[in-house]
């Protein structure tokens, strides 16, 4: 088991209220699984994501990574865990003034000593440079290796973020809304690319997604969250329109501001329409 969560809860205490972002959350993930996390706004997806990449700790319950309880890890073990997890964010978090090649090399930062980092900034070692060029080649960006990140288009920046994470060579990739800022055809291309890369290298992929169609098309397992709990955990082939309507409608218990009837209807329609055509 790469992840094992038992009865995990996460509570935020603010000056105004105590928010139960996750409430008794349980699931296991095997190495090599591809899991999409779905759910309405405020369901707890980001909180779960941050628990999985160990930037947050559960308030209660146990979270194990590869058989070790994360809460009991030493600083060294935590750093080692984080090296084994690569994260792709919606905002990419590239360094705008660095070239595509330099941004790709940044994927190795977690492995480098301070001195090695300084040396690599001046003159990367040939082996690392070759690896970075290979990663750029894989995502179709080798001809852009000298371009600054801020000279690349949105789709190219997302390709670069994927190249960087593969340069890190993690066992697990966590992706937070990785395609949401891309237009539909680019979304399709990059989702296919990421899935091929992940599947070929037998890595685990867990992604939060807003887009139900992408989730059902590319992820065999869907875990849906609502009000901090598992609403369902099923194979994508068993997720139907009724299940999705139940997930995205009836925000009675939602901790976020309610959406208007019309807006909510449009929202459900846009999420479900592609499913109905399959
Ligand atoms: P999602 O990603 O599904 O939109 P989140 O995990 O961001 O859900 O949020 C779950 C709940 O926790 C929401 O009610 C949100 O307002 C609350 N929340 C998230 N982060 C914080 C925080 N840092 N402080 C207080 N409340 C938070």
Q: Where are the domains of the chain?
A: 3-84+171-276, 94-169
Of all residues in the chain, the percent with pLDDT exceeding 90 is 70
Using 50, 70 and 90 to split pLDDT, how confident is the model at 195? very high
Q: Is the dihedral of CA 17, 22, 23, 24 positive or negative?
A: negative
pTM (predicted TM-score): 0.85
Residues with CB under 6 A from ligand 1: 12, 14, 19, 21, 39, 41-47, 255-256
Taking the C-alpha atoms of residue 230 and residue 120, their distance in angstroms, rounded to an integer, is 44
Q: How far is the CA of 47 from the centre of ligand 1 (A)?
A: 6
Residue located nearest, by CA, to atom 5 of ligand 1: 44
Taking the C-alpha atoms of residue 9 and residue 261, their distance in angstroms, rounded to an integer, is 31
Answer CATH for 3-84+171-276 from 3.60.40.10, 3.40.190.10, 1.10.3470.10, 3.40.50.300: 3.40.50.300
- Kindly list the distances between the CA atom of residue 71 and the CA atoms of 3, 28, 173, 174, 262, in Å, as whole numbers in the listed order: 13, 17, 21, 19, 44
Residue pLDDT, tens place only, 14-34: 888 999 999 999 999 999 999
Taking the C-alpha atoms of residue 205 and residue 87, their distance in angstroms, rounded to an integer, is 10
* CA 74 centroid distance within chain: 25
């Amino acid at each position: 088991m790469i992840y094992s969560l038992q009865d995990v809860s996460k509570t935020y205490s603010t000056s105004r209220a105590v928010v139960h972002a996750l409430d008794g959350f349980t699931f296991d993930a095997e190495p090599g699984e591809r899991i999409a996390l779905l759910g309405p706004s405020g369901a707890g997806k980001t909180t779960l994501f941050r628990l999985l990449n160990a930037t947050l700790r559960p308030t209660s319950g146990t979270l194990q990574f590869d058989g070790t309880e994360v809460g009991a890890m030493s600083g060294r073990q935590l750093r080692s865990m984080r090296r084994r997890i690569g994260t792709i964010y919606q905002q990419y978090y590239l360094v705008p003034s660095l070239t595509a090649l330099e941004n790709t090399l940044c994927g190795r930062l977690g492995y480098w000593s301070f001195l090695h980092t300084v040396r690599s900034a001046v003159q990367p070692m040939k082996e690392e440079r070759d690896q970075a060029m290979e990663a750029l080649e894989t995502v179709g960006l080798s001809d852009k290796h000298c371009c600054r990140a801020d000279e690349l288009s949105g789709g190219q920046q997302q390709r670069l973020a994927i190249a960087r994470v593969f340069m890190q060579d993690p066992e697990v990739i966590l992706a937070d809304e990785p395609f949401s800022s891309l237009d539909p055809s680019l979304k399709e291309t990059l989702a296919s690319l990421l899935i091929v890369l992940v599947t070929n290298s037998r890595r685990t992929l867990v992604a939060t997604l807003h887009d139900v169609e992408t989730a059902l098309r590319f992820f065999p397992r869907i875990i849906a969250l609502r009000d901090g709990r598992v609403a369902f955990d099923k194979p994508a082939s068993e997720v139907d329109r009724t299940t999705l309507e139940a997930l995205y409608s009836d925000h009675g218990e939602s901790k976020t501001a309610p959406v208007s009837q019309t807006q909510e209807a449009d929202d459900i329609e846009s999420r479900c329409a592609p499913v109905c055509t399959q």
